[in-house]
A and B are shown apart, each in its own frame.
Chain A
Amino acid sequence: MNVTYTKPLPVVDSLTKQYWENARSHRLSVQRCRDCGDRHFPPCDVCPKCLSDDQDWEVVSGRGTLLSWVRFHRAYWDGYRGELPYDVCLVKLDEGPLVLSNFSGNAPENARMGMPLRAVFDDVTEQVSLVRFAPE
């Protein structure tokens, strides 16, 4: 745990609070509509499929596949300056939603679209845990 964490931290609001609480206990979740069952992330104020207000957070399996990945050579935030280059990956969760994240550790040398991945959590501050993905 790093007390001088300088990278961007989440803006926790009423819509995302539950997601970040689940992440803190190392559970990956997506928003799910109780009326039509649609699963989506990031969360929306009403269900984008049926406009229902009745939505909840569903803990998902943490399994997904790699869709894409990129390597940042530019630091858009000062906190990344010492860490260039760094990787960001796009993961399609088995439950449907797409999420942007990082590889746990270095990018796998055999990275390819469709590669199976699983969620792992990184406690970056006292309050915040970030999901990252490792090869299955």
Chain B
Amino acid sequence: MNDIKSLKNRIAVVGVGNTRYGSFPDVSDYGLGAQAFKAAIADCGLDKNQIDGLVCCRVPYYARMGEVLGLNPAWTIALPGHGRMSGMSIIEAMLALETGAAKYVALIYTNIGRSRRMSYGGEDSASIWDPWGFTSPGAAHALMFRMHMERYGTTTRQLAEVSVAIRGNAMLNPDAVMKKPITIDDHEAARRIVEPLGLLDYCLVNDGAVCMIMTTADRARDLAKPPVLISGFGARDGFERSSISNFDADFWFSEVREAGTQAFQMAGVGHDDVDAFMCYDNFSPTVLFSLEGLGYCERGESGAFVEGGTLGVHGRLPTNTDGGHLSNSYMQGWALNIEAVRQLRGECGARQVPDCEVVHYVAATPCTRSIIYTKG
């Protein structure tokens, strides 16, 4: 197998599961991971002892996770709790399945950041810029959004459209953490955190866990639910300019463009074929940068593109139909990937996108990953 594009439609997601999302100070990472794993196993109908591949993301110790679940896999990897790692994990699992290193892979993500009061800034993430008071991923996105405002005239009211549309989607998701309606004016009036960003531009911080089960498309046919195929993916890292964490002076435009183009070409679909878009929304500006990088709109025009409810479930480009990181749950990309699967299965109830056949996931970060899922 020399051409990565030959992986088109060869690997499937067959099971998905998640915990409730919220604050669970009395449950460990492993307890949450086990809940999500059990749900995903039940979803696909496998015997848990058939799992011979394990991906642990943000799980403190992979071996303890395996111990708790009674697994002795043939292939295990552990990845840190960064949002960029979800797409990376899914692609790694594809490669393990294609090569035969594993037959059924469980990917487990756990997060207890809320109940353990993780602050995502200051002493939790020391850097050379601390003496000037600069810290936190949110501040890095505020710096980038200011540059977008200066270069293209984008406004905070346009940015509000992202948060408002995604909150509207969350209101259709009974499991979402934040379901109170918000308006553009609410976005503008919300407490400033790092200007030009305010509270409603920031993702939630909550506890929870997600599990996905993946196998080859051939094996997937025998399982409980119709498989969802991975039709395309693309990848590009941008480490060279990473002296400021979570910041890129060009919004990772070239990385997102490259990863997106690879995924579209591999899947053989175009922008108009995409029925739903799952866009890593750690902060609302990331959505604008992703739309431009992927070519859903021209460079500099994302502010106008999102106006008028474009990203709502019933809008022109239904985006983060579960409510995303901004309003559903801070599962660092994982919840968006299981939402992609549920949309393609038609399991989404009030937030279901009609006739959903193609779903596009992207995380615009220093490790950009783009994945296109289709109905099996």
By a beta-carbon cutoff of 8 Å, the part of chain A in contact with chain B is 7-11, 16, 40-42, 48, 67-74, 76-77, 80, 85-86, 88, 90, 98, 100-102, 112-113, 124, 128, 130
Contact = CB atoms under 8 A, between A and B. Distances in A.
Interface in B73-100: none
Given A76-B119, A76-B121, A102 B143 contact: no
Contacts of B147: 67-68, 113
Interface stretch (B126-134, B160-168, B215-223): B126-134
Counting chain B residues whose Cβ lies within 8 A of the other chain, the interface size class is: 20 to 34
The interface centre, meaning the residue of A71, A76, A90, A98 with most chain B CB atoms within 10 A of its CB, is A76
B195 A73 contact: yes
Given A10-B130, A68-B146, 10 more contacts: A10-B131, A11-B126, A69-B143, A71-B192, A74-B193, A88-B134, A98-B243, A100-B132, A102-B132, A130-B132
A68 B194 contact: no
A77 B122 CA distance: 6
A39 B133 CA distance: 24
B226 to A, nearest CB: 46
A124 to B, nearest CB: 8
A100 B142 CA distance: 13
Contacts of B133: 7-8, 72, 76-77, 80, 86, 88, 102
A53 B193 CA distance: 41
A85 B195 contact: yes
Contacts of A70: 139, 142-143, 146, 194-196
A74 B143 CA distance: 15
Nearest to A16: B128
B159 interface: no
Given A48-B240, A73-B191, A8 B131 contact: yes
Nearest to B146: A68
Given A7-B131, A102-B132, A73 B194 contact: yes
B132 A113 contact: no
B152 to A, nearest CB: 11
B27 interface: no
A42 B122 contact: no
